[in-house]
Amino acid sequence: MTGEPVHLPVIDQRPGWVRVLLPGRPNGLSGWIDTELVGIITARYDLRVQLGEGYLYVRFCGRSRRWPLTVRDSSPAVPLGRTYVLAGPAGRRTEGLLLAAHHGDAAGNVQVGGERGSGTFIVPAAALPTLARVEPGTMVLIRC
């Protein structure tokens, strides 16, 4: 453990418990956590990747923005479905976001970044200031 906080998205809740997506677990595995052991905050952003349309949608406070998105040619097959932001650019030597994702049965990471980065998804530089404000734990939906 690094001592840094871990941000996990809540996908369900019951009195005294929250169900969260687990990092490093394939196929959307989740677990229940006692609410007395964690702090809960509400995510301000919502991200959607529409591969068929070729856009990244970012919703904040009911307003939505979109940017063109391409998949880097050298990237492995992009995992579809629900994932979340593991880390943002703060404290890392990269631009964009690091997503929790899985390729088949193997845990992996998908990055959203600009042309110069090593991201799986490439967005224009104009999107990067907005992505820099997206908090870890923010839910991301990747669709065809």
In this predicted model, what pLDDT tens digit does every residue of 61-106 receive, in sequence order? 889 999 999 887 766 667 788 888 877 765 555 567 878 765 444 4
Question: pLDDT at position 124, please?
Answer: 87
Question: pLDDT at position 81, please?
Answer: 83
- Radius of gyration, alpha carbons of the chain: 15
Which of 17-26, 32-41, 79-88, 114-123 has maximum average pLDDT? 32-41
**38-54 mean pLDDT:** 89
Question: pLDDT at position 18, please?
Answer: 94
- Smallest Cα–Cα separation from 114: which of 101, 132, 133, 102? 132
Question: pLDDT at position 94, please?
Answer: 55
DSSP 8-class letter at 34? E
Question: pLDDT at position 54, please?
Answer: 92
**21-47 mean pLDDT:** 83
**Distance between CA atoms of 21 and 137, rounded to whole angstroms?**
9
Among 49-58, 64-73, 102-111, whose mean pLDDT is lowest?
A: 102-111
**33-52 mean pLDDT:** 90
**18-33 mean pLDDT:** 79
pTM metric for this prediction: 0.77
DSSP annotation string for 56-107: EEEEETTEEEEEE-EE-TTSPPPPPEEEEEEE-STTSSSSSEEEEEEETTEE
